Structure 1
Amino acid sequence: MNAIPPASRAGRETTTRPVVAAPYAPDAGLPWPGLARLPAWLRLADPQVAAAVAIISAFTVLRLLAAAWVGLGVDEAYTLAISRRLALSYYDHPPLHQWIVHLFGDVLGYGRAARLPFVLLFAGSSWMLFRLTRHLFGARAGVWAVVALNLSAFFSVIAGGWVLPDGPLIFCLLAAADQLARILFPAPAALGARASGSMRAWALAGIWIGLAGLSKYQAILYAAGLVILLAASRADRGQLKRPGPYVAALIAAVIVSPVIVWNAQHHWVSFLFQGGRGLPGHGLRPGGPVVAFLGQAAVMLPWVMAPLVMALWRPGPAGWGSRRRWFCLALSGPAILLFTLTPIWGQASLPHWAMPGWLFVMPLAGEFMARESAVKPWPRTWAALSFCAFLALWSFVVVEAATGWLGRAWPAVFTHGDPTLESVEWTSAQVLDHSAVMADPGLFLIAAKWNEAGRLVEAFGARRPIVVASSDPRGFAYDGAPGSLVGRDGLLVVERPDAETTLARLRPCFATVQPAGSVQFGRQGSPEVRLETFVGRRLSAHCAGLGTLPPR
């Protein structure tokens, strides 16, 4: 196991290699036997590197299969819709994931193939986690960290395979941490060239932190953790007397500047939207943090969360004073604490908000599992059972999302509706293109909700303007000039349960509103989605702001 002596007077830590009694098997301490004994054409010089590459490759194949088989979720359809318009930033999030979609739009299109860069990016994130953990705690710990990351539902399935801002955020945070670890814990061979190498590493860290800020606003918590670490650690405080951290901060600020400029031009609407989600609600909820943590464990998978929690409470040989341990805790703590404690003051906290924090518990879990696996059999048993459970769950969810067989065979299973209905794409609504009303080139489309507007773009592309007839149009509020649709006809496409409510809102805006037919579609030919259409003639001037955000 790794022996990590306390910091020296200079504030440095050195790491000795694991001591293993002979005879020594090359896959000793790895999660699954045989990982280091790959076929000759796959074999790498380092068995731990070979194991990490094999694990990353296997899970990447699973993600590619899921990306091809499962329809786009509502958030993905919305993201792909607003990404067709290139902007400095967007209403919901900073722009990096939309820029990625837009960059590859001409090649990959705006369907399921748009997931490909995000799947490959998560393969890169897994490798970055291996590099980071190997540098901090050794290669075997790196392999175990990669296993934990890829067995977790949120990271492996959602962040790792969907068109969401979490994928770029995770990669950029890990890449920044990899550079920071090399600054704060330089390898012995790099000590002589520390000054020039440190400045280069700080610049790279600034680039990656800036790109993380272009991915999601949560990057500010990562930066806060880094500042706290440098200010509180006696060994690292000297960095604040050098130019490196300030160069990194300047670079990061320049990279994030498009987000600042866009928000300044739009009344800080994105900051207000995201910041408002954490404002105090009604009354105190002392049990809120427990519920929040259980939600985080659920999206991670409870049996994956368990070794992470154990790693937090069972430090390695260097004890609680290990600088490497505190490095991980500083980067993870702000997000975990903030989003776990937020429910105390009555505001909801979505489970995935804390995941960037748990990401940096992965190296600690890797070190813990590598240490345990050297003397106990349970980590390998855990890895085998966890992989079987993951594969079973993955197969079930992918098949159900792609076919909907369970909901058709046993409707009573989903008492509140099949959650995989969100993956039913609306491309079948293209049949409406052949209706007489669609012959009008000036016709615009109306959706009842922002997520349904994303589905309409999925079906009809960007050929026609789309407005959202609600007080929450999200990014669609910025797709056109207010008033440009006055006098034109609009086609409302709405799910049947919402038809009457939406019609009551729209009738005063048009001279007449008439039914224009219906369409239904679903997986395997089942009528899972039922859409009603209504045509409104001549949009009135007093509704010129239809689809825009209400004044704040």
Structure 2
Amino acid sequence: MRPSAILRLIAVTTLIRLAFAATTGLGVDESYMVTSGRVLSLGYFDHPPASWWLSWGAAHGFGTEAPWAVRLPFILLFALSQLLVWRITCRVADQRAGFWAVLALNLSPVFGVTTGTWVLPDGPLDAALLGAVLCLLHALPATGRRALGWWAGAGLCAGLALFSKYSAVLTVGGAFLYLLTSRAHRHWLRRPEPYIAVIVAAAVFSPVVIWNAMHGWASFAFQGARATGLRFRPLLPLQTLAGEALFVLPWVWVPMMILLVSGFRRGETWPRRLLVWLAAPPVVGFALISAWSSQRVLYHWAAPGYLMLFPLLGDAVARRLDRVWVRGLFAGTAALVIASLAVIATQLNFDWLGGRLGAIMRNDPTAEGLDWTSVRDDLLARGLLPPGAVVAALNWRDAGKIGYALGPRTTILCLNTDSRQFGFTHRLSEYAGRTMLVLAVDPAGEASPWFHSIQTLPGTSVRLDGRTLRTVTVMRGEGLVPRP
């Protein structure tokens, strides 16, 4: 299969993502990242800086925080990720396998939709991890200066992966385990090149360490707490794996797990064994953590592990293309994914489903994917948003949605002991005694403990095509009293 085929695939899927990005609002996590990341920093409470810097740079470069603008870097990074998956698969198998690996990557929702489009740490994480893998595939059989260059490249990409998301350490650990168990490549542990790679990675990651040291190790503590707990639930790993299967797609996940297990058998080529060693720590690690963690393990956390298995999946598919059901499965999945994107985009623009989603789901998800501009328009019409206004919300999720809708000229505060990055972007102590607007999304939280007095004003709402999705209580708080 010619390289032009993969370039066409990347171009077409990138155009689809651009259209989807331009016709849908930012989700809760995206709004939170864009809003709380308006102040540039060496580090951030939730994650390392890469994704925050990308959205900040795009907003300032284009002069707008429109969804297509802040999402563009992540869409382009996924285009790069597709190219890297193809190159990796070409080294593991051949170009035809590479095409099918990239196509499967595009059709898996956790990669093709969320990682490939949204403002999340996973976009830069995946691109950097794939870059590190490609460098390793070149470095392990190389010698002399060429080997040093590839090892340094692997270190640089590993550092960028850690600079995107802390969980990259699991994949990096998988590379160490591979070297430890591989007779053919164990000698690298006695050579300086891997340790030079570690030094390069540490240098790239160092701003995160500096920020944490200056802020009481807040980010390390927050993420580290997710792996701690006091309860033992032996069946929960099965639930975690089942959730991951839904995110990846069950008919993609099952063959991946078979390839993961079979990849450890004797006689496998070293590139395939390298990939399964890179895949195993995230897949197995997060499943095990869910057995005792006091917090819920989210299903997309293990995605970097599954990412490493797409080259093996592409090779397996390419070997079975003579079977009609294989091509039919890909065609049906492509139709399902494109139809789903069309339903989401048209619903967020035309509300053609009305309240039907609320009738079958606990909460209508339309409000989460809609930008809350109706709230901004109401407040502006009432003269409640003068230049330099300070507005407070009662939790970080609502602060993100409200702050993004109100725009960068409005300062958004989060009146909650769990304020995430908002607690560092705008510290409440700097606004002590101030009078400000308080917006509480229904069901309204308690704002009175934060002020000397509270005045309730006529409310507003999040609306789409005349339908109210969320009611918003509007208050004026006088004399902010910051709490610990």
Smaller-chain TM-score bracket = over 0.9
* Match status 1:151 vs 2:107: yes
Specify which of 16, 19, 37 is matched with residue 65 of structure 1.
19
Residue in 2 that maps onto 1:122: 78
Residue in 1 that maps onto 2:393: 447
* Match status 1:85 vs 2:50: no
Specify which of 201, 209, 212 is matched with residue 252 of structure 1.
201
- Matched residue of 2:135: which SS? helix
Specify which of 304, 309, 317 is matched with residue 356 of structure 1.
304
> 1:308–1:185: structure 2 CA closer, same or farther, 3 Å change rule?
farther
Separation of aligned partners in 1, 2:6 and 2:385:
53
Does the CA contact (< 8 Å) of 1:520 and 1:530 recur in 2?
yes
Does the CA contact (< 8 Å) of 1:407 and 1:418 recur in 2?
no
Residue in 2 that maps onto 1:299: 247
For 1:54, the aligned partner's letter is R
Unaligned residue ranges in structure 2 (runs of 5+)? none
Residue in 1 that maps onto 2:153: 204
For 1:385, the aligned partner's letter is G
- Matched residue of 2:473: which SS? strand
Q: Give how far 1:380 is off.
A: 1.9
* Match status 1:111 vs 2:66: yes
- Matched residue of 2:456: which SS? strand
Deviations 1:434-477 (A, max 9, x none): 435544x6752110111111123213223343221111100010
Q: Give how far 1:312 is off.
A: 3.0
Separation of aligned partners in 1, 2:430 and 2:338:
51
Q: Which moved more, 1:319-328 or 1:90-99?
A: 319-328
Residue in 1 that maps onto 2:449: 505
Q: Give how far 1:334 is off.
A: 0.5
Separation of aligned partners in 1, 2:178 and 2:458:
62
Residue in 1 that maps onto 2:345: 398
Q: Give how far 1:309 is off.
A: 2.7
Residue in 2 that maps onto 1:519: 460
For 2:353, the aligned partner's letter is L
Query: Map of 1:374-523 to 2, 5 A cutoff?
Result: 375-408=322-355, 410=356, 413-431=359-377, 432-439=379-386, 444-498=390-444, 501-506=445-450, 509-510=451-452, 512-523=453-464
* Match status 1:55 vs 2:9: yes
- For the aligned residue pairs, the C-alpha RMSD in angstroms reads 2.0
* Match status 1:272 vs 2:221: yes
> 1:404–1:304: structure 2 CA closer, same or farther, 3 Å change rule?
farther
Separation of aligned partners in 2, 1:313 and 1:53:
32
Separation of aligned partners in 1, 2:286 and 2:121:
18
> 1:185–1:148: structure 2 CA closer, same or farther, 3 Å change rule?
farther
Query: Map of 1:144-293 to 2, 5 A cutoff?
Result: 144-185=100-141, 194-282=143-231, 284-293=232-241
Residue in 2 that maps onto 1:9: none
Separation of aligned partners in 2, 1:437 and 1:58:
44
- Matched residue of 1:488: which SS? coil
- Matched residue of 2:202: which SS? helix
Q: Give how far 1:307 is off.
A: 2.9
For 1:505, the aligned partner's letter is P
Separation of aligned partners in 1, 2:210 and 2:48:
11
Does the CA contact (< 8 Å) of 2:432 and 2:479 recur in 1?
yes
Does the CA contact (< 8 Å) of 1:514 and 1:535 recur in 2?
yes
Count of equivalent residues: 480
Q: Give how far 1:287 is off.
A: 1.3
> 1:84–1:415: structure 2 CA closer, same or farther, 3 Å change rule?
closer
Does the CA contact (< 8 Å) of 1:137 and 1:367 recur in 2?
yes
Query: Map of 1:285-364 to 2, 5 A cutoff?
Result: 285-313=233-261, 320-347=267-294, 348-364=296-312
For 2:409, the aligned partner's letter is R
Residue in 2 that maps onto 1:17: none
- Matched residue of 1:529: which SS? strand
> 1:418–1:197: structure 2 CA closer, same or farther, 3 Å change rule?
same
Does the CA contact (< 8 Å) of 2:58 and 2:72 recur in 1?
no
Q: Which structure's CA Rg is the greater one?
A: 1
Q: Give how far 1:300 is off.
A: 1.1
Does the CA contact (< 8 Å) of 1:424 and 1:522 recur in 2?
no
Does the CA contact (< 8 Å) of 2:47 and 2:165 recur in 1?
yes
Q: Percent identity?
A: 35
Deviations 1:338-387 (A, max 9, x none): 111222225421100100010001111111112222x5343222222222
For 1:97, the aligned partner's letter is S
> 1:496–1:381: structure 2 CA closer, same or farther, 3 Å change rule?
closer
Separation of aligned partners in 2, 1:518 and 1:93:
35
